[in-house]
Amino acid sequence: MFKQRLVTGLLLAGAALAAILGLPSIAFAALVLVTFLIGADEWSRLTGGQSVWVRSSFVLVVAVAAGVAWRVAMHGDIRLPILMGVIWWLAVAGLLLIYSPGRSLNAIGGLRTVLRIAVLLSLVPAWLAIVWLQRYDPWLLVFLIVLAAVGDSAAYLAGRRFGRRRMAPRLSPGKTWEGLMGEMLISLLLAVAGAWYFVAGDNWARVGFVCLCLVTVLASVIGDLFESLLKRVAGAKDSGSLLPGHGGVLDRFDSHLAAAPVFLLGWLWLRGGGL
């Protein structure tokens, strides 16, 4: 299982790097959108939409919303759709605190409706942020992906070695506060290196970039836990089976759904304007 997971992870990393650095913006945007539409199909099944009609509706709605968000970004202000995504993830943090396990999806009709609507607020701002970062500076997007991925690995290793206190036992029993501390420490080192590479001259701006990276890592944890909530409510182990050893698309990119809009909004704020 570990070998399969490792091979799949290396192939995904290589493909992602080649796409980010080698594809023109439009082709990259289309590729990421197709990936996220697969995620939308997985989302529909996790929230009880098993019929072809419901699943197709999910995919169509996300595609249309992505087009609208892109038009707003190109002809208005990208901060509006990105801010909507950030506000949503703040609301998710509150939802995670009050979620009560042990009830089936059918018994929580209100929650199912919220989770279905959430597909737009979760996928569309993340897609737009990822596309915009690649268009602006591909290496900045690579840094964001590495920041979330390395931090997640550090949390896993630190949790296995030092983990004693569970962080979210109702959602993800394997996550510990010690793992989070390990993740934040490694992320701090990456953030300092990134600050010196991406932020020129102004030391205060570099400090701001480091703080942004740490906030982004916390957002990635929220994204990860929210996908765990989706699967727990649905009674599923994985969001899908497309990626051997990893599960589905949502299983692989859950942390980036929250991290990408938070990182982009913070980057825009640090720069004092739009891209």
Q: Which residues contact 181 (CB under 8 A, 6 or more apart)?
A: 158
Please state, in angstroms and as integers, the Cα–Cα distance from residue 44 to each residue in 71, 135, 256, following that order: 25, 30, 19
pLDDT for 94 equals 85
207 vs 183, more confident: 207
Report the alpha-carbon distance of residue 243 to residue 100 in Å, rounded. Answer: 30
How many angstroms separate the first and last alpha carbons of the chain? 42
Report the alpha-carbon distance of residue 209 to residue 211 in Å, rounded. Answer: 5
Average pLDDT score over residue span 200-223 = 91
Check pLDDT > 50 for residue 106. Answer: no
1 vs 227, more confident: 227
Q: How do residues 141-157 score in pLDDT, each as one tens digit? A: 999 999 988 877 777 77
Band of residue 233 on the pLDDT scale cut at 50, 70, 90: confident
Q: How do residues 119-139 score in pLDDT, each as one tens digit? A: 899 999 999 999 999 999 999
Report the alpha-carbon distance of residue 245 to residue 189 in Å, rounded. Answer: 29
Check pLDDT > 80 for residue 209. Answer: yes
Report the alpha-carbon distance of residue 170 to residue 41 in Å, rounded. Answer: 26
Please state, in angstroms and as integers, the Cα–Cα distance from residue 177 to each residue in 70, 121, 123, 172, 213, following that order: 38, 28, 27, 12, 19
Check pLDDT > 80 for residue 247. Answer: no
User: Is-contact 192 143, C-beta < 8 A?
Assistant: no
Mean pLDDT rounded to a whole number for the chain = 83
133 vs 241, more confident: 133
Q: How do residues 35-84 score in pLDDT, each as one tens digit? A: 999 989 888 888 877 778 888 888 999 999 999 998 888 877 888 899 99
pTM, full prediction? 0.89
pLDDT for 72 equals 85
93 vs 201, more confident: 93
